Every structure is written in structure tokens, then in C-alpha cells.
Structure 1
């Protein structure tokens, strides 16, 4: 079945609630493990249907935010999901109270109960209205970003469509593109400030209603963090500042010298890695997809079958079009056991990274799509990002096909960007901890906090006000996760550190690296993040030595890389 053929039907909320209540009662009344197990498996199937309808609505709304029908469906889901959460929690509580817990753990593993205990800490009927309002505000932010129509050089562009101009080799044109984008954010900043201010106060209130000091711990529980704490994250941030920021600063100093621009760099100059322009993929979007097919075919039989299914069943929507939501993501339709990739191709190297990054997520789901319970199909967020960020490095196997004459330029750019990204992502996390520890901060105080952190994590950037919004220290508002998925960003940094371990292995023995990748991926979500790493023979990013060693290896490779002939 192709994506376009998947039928969407809005579920009847009352029927869904009644079904959940009946299944919960059957579970509570079960006289044997077999009876409890039957109710459990029926609940799994019912959940697949509801989640698939929600995902279909979300994807089709993302593809065209102007579509009135799916706009209405998103409003429906924003309202109904918090209501359904009350019934899900009743099921959750019944599972935790079962006399047959040992039988379930024997057959399905104990992690489902660990996660159930965490979910119990994230909800009370008292916060249903708050959750509904949170959904409304997140949707409003997404629609505002998608609505951008930015005049530039006689044309009109969305935020995604403007990106190719932001790394144009022409200094004046590149700067103008950054100024145009920054200008749009400044024009809409009052609304952006208001949305975020309400979100912060709303989330702080939810945390307090659930008995926490504020939102931070609730945020960790909502991210299902089941094997590390705020203190572990603080240690990781310290390791980033100690080992990685100095390496990233050397990379950016070399970039400034290479492109002949002053250090510290402006935001516009930081976007240009090479004077002749950043690496560009060869061919059209269809060519990139064809190269993706060749890459996955060569990688392994399982990977080849997966990507051909994605193409044959049209499970990707990748072109940047008017009205389309920005960014990219992967989601699932569990009823059909199919992943889906959403993106915005714009002619940059990011197009290829979609074929590796988002498809890395999709491949991991594909390999685990039949797991029971369904929550074991995917692990927690940081563990999922290992699938995607590591697959980007496996993509070097087909770098010539993707980039042609820019292949070597891409390899340098990709590794350098992976290293300079981690300080940025860590800064996003640090910023959110500051914000939720002081929810009373004014918008101006939040901007000031971001500007301070820029000096700490990205000292190579010039904050002189030349570019509206960005060089005024306000660029955090373009980061969707800060609005829609609080505390979902350090996950990328933890995962990138693990992905760099795969990069090191790839330099030594590509076949062994793939074996380790599959050992990690085939576990699905059946273990915690740190357990997944341990069982695949990988080091934890919370180990300071891990950060030190990958930084050392990457710095040596970049220093030895011959840039002769690359403009």
C-alpha cells in the first residue's frame, strides 16, 4: 500500500475511551497470565490503529499546513490526546499492579515496567487542560514558521527555500540572505516571545501540579530518560566545554583563514566552509534518491530491501514546497508496520543527510517493526539518534555517487560539522535548563542568557548586531525543539558522540563497524540507552574518556586531511 492510499478516519473518542476502559477492566479481572496476556495483546493492536491515524494526520498537515481538513484534524488530536492519556494511565496503573508481572517480564522483558513507572510520574487528570494548551501553542509555532514568505532578490521564499542562499560563495549575497531571514524573525519576534513565555509558564505549572519543583524533572521523565540524570548531563556538558569546544574553535579559525574572512566569524561567514562554496550533491532530487537506493543496496540485503520499500510505497515526501512545515523528521504508521520520512530538499548537502539521517531512523524501525510490545520498536530519543547520526558516516561509502567532484570536500565538511554541532546542541540544552530553572525570566532576559552561552560554546561567532536576530543573540527561537520538545536536544549530542565512535571504527574496519551498528540497532528499544551501548561493545558518552578519545582521533584526521585542490 502506498502512502497516498492509506485511509485516514478520525477515531470516535468515546469509542476509543470505552475500549480502553474495557481492556483495563479485563486486565484487572484476569484470573490467569493467559487472560492478562490476551488483554495486553489486544490493547497493543488497538493502540496501533489510533497511533497510525494520529501519524497520518500529522504528516499530511506537515506536508501542507494550509490544508483546512488536516488543520482541523490536528486541532482534534491536540485536544483528544491529553484526554486519552487519562485512560492510558489507568491501563498503565493496572499493568503495574498485576500479580502476573513476573510472567510478563519473563516473556517481554522488564523495561516495559521501568518505563511504565516513569510514565506514571508524568500525568494527572489535573493537567489535561494544560496539555491541550501546550499542544495548541506548539502547533501555532509550527504554523507560524511554515507561513514565512521572505522577499529576496525579486522572489519569495520559505525559511527552508532560503537556506541555499545562506551559504552562497558570494559574500554580499550570503549576508543579504542571512539579513533577510533574521529580519523575518525580528518582525515576528513579539509573537515568538509570547508563545514561548506561555509555554514555559505552562510547563512550570504542570511540574508543580505533579509535585516537582518546576518543569525540569518532569521534562526528563517525559523524555523517558530511564538510565541517566540531570547530573550526568551536566558532566557531559563539562566534557564538551573541556575537550570539544577547543577543537571546534580550531576548525572555525582554519575556516576563517581558508575563506579569507575575519575571526571571530559573522553568522553568514560561519556558514561558508570553503571559498568555492560548500559541497553540493550532484543531480536532481530523483538522482539523490537513486543514489540512496544504490547506497543501501550495497550496505546490506536488509538495508536494500528497506529502502526499496520506502521508494516503491512512496514513504518519503522530500521536496520543499509552499505551505510545507520546515525541517525534517521520521515517523511510523504502526498499523502498516511502515516508517515515513518528511523533509525539505533544497539543493544543499542536507539533502543527502536526509537520505542517511532520517533513513537511519526509518531503517532501525524497519528492523524492529514486529516487536511486542510496540514500545520496543524504538528506544529512547538519544538512542534513536545514534541510528541516524551513525548512518550519516556510513554514507561515506557512497560519497562519490552523492557528491561527485565534491566528495572529498563533503567528507571534511561532514566531520568538521559533526564536531562543531555538538557545542551548539549542548548550548541548546544548557539554555533550556536555565530557562526552566527561572521560569519568571522575561523574554529579554532569555535572549541575554542565550547570548552569554554563545560566548561560552561558540566563541568563534561575532555578536555585533550586523545580522538582525542572529548576531543579536536571539537565534534560539529558530530551534523548533525548544518550543515543541523541551529537553530534546542533548540527545543529538550524546548520539553524535557515539556516532563518532562508529566513524573511528569505519576508518579501521568498515565491516566490523557495520557489525557493531547492526548489533546496536537490532536491539530496538528492548534495553536502556546505556545497556544498548554496552551490548554492542560501545562506550558511553557520559564517560569523559570517550569524549577525549573521539576528539583526539577527529582532530588528527582533520589535521592530516589534504585540502589541496579543494576550493
Structure 2
């Protein structure tokens, strides 16, 4: 079904509560694993329908944040998704206490129980009101970001559209774009400070009520991290600082030379070439048509998937006034449909969406017939591996999108992928520090961000830019507010994706088949198991980053 024709109906919470109470009571009284399994399937139907309606409302609100109807519907979900979670958790309690666990695990998989136990640990009715408030604060933050109207070069743009100017080959224009985006944050600085402080206090209070020392482990549990913890991530970040950061410092010196500069200012960092970054050839319709060709040539399954996306118009790609910023892929489970949302702006990012978000959508499409939703999708480290790997597997088709700039894009893509990892570690280190020290003042938070900038991105000169030189940069990274502790998943995934890329340089087809094995497993295995299944090395294993850096360095020297 086309997305525009999918009906939306606000979930009836009263009816859902009755159905869950009935399911829970039946489950506790049932006399066989088979009977309990069928009740789990009934739960899956209820859960899928609620998720479907929430996704439709979220997408339509993202398309137009000024639409009062879907603004009201999102307020409903902000307030009531924790209530729904309580009904679901009561059912999970009954499931976790089953006397038929060994038999049920054969039907649901062991990881189903691992995941619901993590879910139970990280939720209690005692935190519902706090979760409602948290949701409302996140929505306010997202709306504040979307409200930006910045005048530049004779036009008015939002924070997504300004990227075209902030990466321009014209250095004065780049600097102006950074200054003006910074001015928006300075103007709203007090509220951005207040929202983040309220979120930290809120999440810390939730952690304490649930018996955690602070929000860090609660955040890990809520993200379903079932095979590693903060210690492994700390080790990973150390490897990045020791091995990858020095390599990038050398690459940045080469970049400065290409740009004819003595050093890299903040507004130079994302501009890799003196004549500008590679730009895709074609408008939105033409780029989608090229993506269609690529996915049909890539593999029968990717072609089938993209046909489904096209036939059902499961995209909203062009940037426009009132539209939420950024890009994402989400799932609409009742219609077995992924949906890709973005803000095309004429930059290299447009093609990255058609590969990155399509990687998510492809995985969602392949898992559409998995009846147990709790293990249909892996944890976010695995999910982001789907998307970031697809970006790199698409390299043989770069000429299709970039024409005579294909080789230039190859260099851009690899350097940008490497450049991203220390930034992602910076975001994670910052958040971990914030939740371990929840009573820092806004000024202390900014000082922490600035200190960590010098650890993870020592090549950047902030050139006294307002907002950015004062350590405010974290306020523009919406994951820090909206998806706490998520961001390191991108780093792990980028590392795993680069391992796939390295394998594809030797044998593309063999590497892609390993990728398909990874994706088809969905969430039936942990991230550690998925990486091992694909014959790759775990990013936080000692020596992994050093080995990968050597392989990439060898490639860059040859090219």
C-alpha cells in the first residue's frame, strides 16, 4: 500500500489495556508451551499495530511539523507510549516467569528471553511520568531545531539546507554559513541549555528509581546491548585515539594542502577539495531512478526491495519549509513496509541517504516475515552496520551518481568515513561524562565538550566562531538530546562496515554474500555473534583498529 493511503487511527488505550490484561491472565494459566507461544503471537499483533500507528503519525509530523493534527497525535504518543509499555511489560513479566521456557526458546529463540529481561530491568510503572516528560522535552527540542530560518546568499534555509553553503568551495560563504547557524543556537542558547539539563536530571532520576547508579547502564540496557558494556566501549575509544586519530591528523594536513591552507578551521573540515566536494548529477527523481538501476544490478533481492519501495511510494526526500531536519528510516510493521525520510539539499549527502537509509530499509524488508518483532531487528550497532555497509558496497556504481567525479567521491567517502569515527567517539565520551556527572552546569558541559574536541579532533581550529568555539557544538547533535548513548553504535557499525569494504576490495561478490548473511539473521543473534557470523573482527578487540588503519592506509597510498 502507498504510504499516503495508509489509514491512521489513534490507538484505543482502554481496549489495548483490556486485551493485554486478558493475554497476561491467559498466559499465566496456560498449560503448554505451544499455547503460550500462540499468546506471544497475539501480543506481537497488538505491539505491531501500536508501532504502526505511532510510525505513521511520526512520519507525517516529520513531513510537516506545523500540521496541528499530527502535532497533537505526537503529543498523544509522547504521553501514552510509556503507558503502552507498561501493559507490554506486565505481559513480559508473565513470559519471563514461564515454566515452559526451554520449550518456548525453541520457538522464539533464546535471545527473545534475553531481550525481554533487559526490557523488564529497565522499566517500572514508577518512571512512567518521567518518561512522558522526557518524550515531551525531546519533541520540544526537535521542534526548536526545525524552527530555524537562516538568511544566506539571498535565500532562507533551515539547518538541513544550510549544509550546501557550509561545505561550499567558497571559503567566505562556508564561514558565513557556520556563523549564521551558530547564531541560531546562540539566540536559543538558554532553552537548549535548559532542555538538556532537564533531560539529564529526568534520566538520572529514572535510573535511580530503577536501582541504577546512574543513567549510563540504564541507557545501555534500554538500547538492548546484550553482549558488551561501557568497559568495552571505553577500550574502543582508546584504540581510536591511539591509532585512528594520528592517521586522520596526517590526512587533514593533506586536505589543508589541497585547499591551499596552513591549517583546518572548523568551516574547512567538511570541505575536502578546493573545487568543492563531489556533487551528485541529477535532481531527486533522477537520483532515485539511478538508485533503482543500481539496486537491480547489485543483487536480485536488492532489486526486488527497491521495486517495493518505488511501487508504494515509501520515500519523502525533498527538503521544504516546516519539515523536520535530518533523515531516517523507520518501519511500518502492519504493512510490512520501511519508510525513508530525508532532506535532499543538492550535496553528496543525497546519495548517502539513498545508500545508508536504504540499507536500513533493505534489512527491514528482509525481516518483514519474522513474526517475533523482538528479534526481527538487531541492536542498533547491528542495524547501523546494515546501512553503513550498504554505503560502501555501492562504490562500484559511483560513476552512475557522480559521473566524472566518481574517483573524487571514492576518496571523499573513505576519508569522511574515517573522519566520522572520532567525532562519534567524542559524542559518546561526552554523553557518558554527562550522565556520570549529572550536576554539571551548562558552562561546565560546554567546557567538557571543548576539551573532548581537542582529544578526538585535535586538527580543528575553531577560529573564535561564536557558539562553536565556546563548546556549544553538542547542542546541534540531536542524538545527544533525543537518543541518549546511541551514537557509539554508528562508530562500531562504521568500523564493521570498513571491514566489509576491505573484504570487498579483494572479492566484492564474496563480501556481499557475507553481508547478506549478516542482514538475513535480523536480530536472532547478538552483535558479537553477527560480526563473527560474517567472519569479521569485533571493533573493540585489541588490535582491530590498528589492523584496519594499516589496510586503509595501504589503499589510500595506492590511490
TM-score by length of 2: 0.99
User: What is the CA-CA distance between 1:301 and the residue it aligns to?
Assistant: 0.6
What corresponds to 2:269 in structure 1?
270
What corresponds to 1:504 in structure 2?
502
Distance in 2, matches of 1:373 and 1:103, equals 16
**Equivalent runs, 1:182-331 vs 2, <5 Å:** 182-263=182-263, 265-331=264-330
What corresponds to 2:527 in structure 1?
529
Asked if the contact 1:267–1:471 (Cα under 8 Å) also holds between the matched residues in 2, the reply is no
2:150 is equivalent to residue 142 of structure 1: no
Q: Alignment partner for residue 542 of structure 2, among 507, 531, 544?
A: 544
User: What is the CA-CA distance between 1:294 and the residue it aligns to?
Assistant: 0.8
Asked if the contact 1:497–1:541 (Cα under 8 Å) also holds between the matched residues in 2, the reply is yes
**Equivalent runs, 1:352-371 vs 2, <5 Å:** 352-371=351-370
Asked if the contact 1:295–1:397 (Cα under 8 Å) also holds between the matched residues in 2, the reply is no
Distance in 1, matches of 2:421 and 2:105, equals 37
**Equivalent runs, 1:436-447 vs 2, <5 Å:** 436-447=435-446
What corresponds to 2:78 in structure 1?
78
Distance in 2, matches of 1:178 and 1:435, equals 26
Distance in 1, matches of 2:33 and 2:452, equals 54
User: What is the CA-CA distance between 1:37 and the residue it aligns to?
Assistant: 1.7
For structure 2, the 5+ residue unaligned runs are none
User: What is the CA-CA distance between 1:108 and the residue it aligns to?
Assistant: 2.0
Distance in 1, matches of 2:330 and 2:544, equals 31
Distance in 1, matches of 2:282 and 2:38, equals 52
User: What is the CA-CA distance between 1:216 and the residue it aligns to?
Assistant: 0.9
Asked if the contact 1:352–1:402 (Cα under 8 Å) also holds between the matched residues in 2, the reply is yes
User: What is the CA-CA distance between 1:181 and the residue it aligns to?
Assistant: 0.8
List 4+ stretches of structure 1 deviating above 4 A: none
Asked if the contact 1:464–1:472 (Cα under 8 Å) also holds between the matched residues in 2, the reply is no
TM-score by length of 1: 0.98
What corresponds to 1:493 in structure 2?
491
Asked if the contact 2:64–2:323 (Cα under 8 Å) also holds between the matched residues in 1, the reply is yes
Partner SS, residue 326 of structure 1: coil
Distance in 1, matches of 2:386 and 2:37, equals 31
User: What is the CA-CA distance between 1:90 and the residue it aligns to?
Assistant: 0.6
Asked if the contact 2:426–2:452 (Cα under 8 Å) also holds between the matched residues in 1, the reply is yes
Partner SS, residue 159 of structure 1: coil
2:140 is equivalent to residue 169 of structure 1: no
What corresponds to 1:403 in structure 2?
402
Partner SS, residue 221 of structure 1: helix
Asked if the contact 1:429–1:490 (Cα under 8 Å) also holds between the matched residues in 2, the reply is yes
Cα RMSD after superposing both structures? 0.9
User: What is the CA-CA distance between 1:262 and the residue it aligns to?
Assistant: 2.4
What corresponds to 1:431 in structure 2?
430
CA pair 365-516 structure 1, distance change in 2 beyond 3 A: same
Q: Alignment partner for residue 471 of structure 1, among 469, 472, 475?
A: 469
Partner SS, residue 289 of structure 1: helix
- Cα deviation per residue 1:231-256 (whole Å; 9 max; x = unaligned)? 00000000000110011111111101
Asked if the contact 1:261–1:269 (Cα under 8 Å) also holds between the matched residues in 2, the reply is no
Asked if the contact 1:108–1:372 (Cα under 8 Å) also holds between the matched residues in 2, the reply is no
- Cα deviation per residue 1:317-363 (whole Å; 9 max; x = unaligned)? 11111111111111101101110111110011110000100000110
2:350 is equivalent to residue 351 of structure 1: yes
Moved more, 220-229 or 537-546: 537-546
User: What is the CA-CA distance between 1:107 and the residue it aligns to?
Assistant: 1.8
- Cα deviation per residue 1:50-79 (whole Å; 9 max; x = unaligned)? 110010001110111000000000000001
Distance in 2, matches of 1:97 and 1:546, equals 40
What corresponds to 2:153 in structure 1?
153
What corresponds to 1:565 in structure 2?
none
Distance in 1, matches of 2:374 and 2:122, equals 17
- Cα deviation per residue 1:228-282 (whole Å; 9 max; x = unaligned)? 011000000000001100111111111011101221x111111210001101000
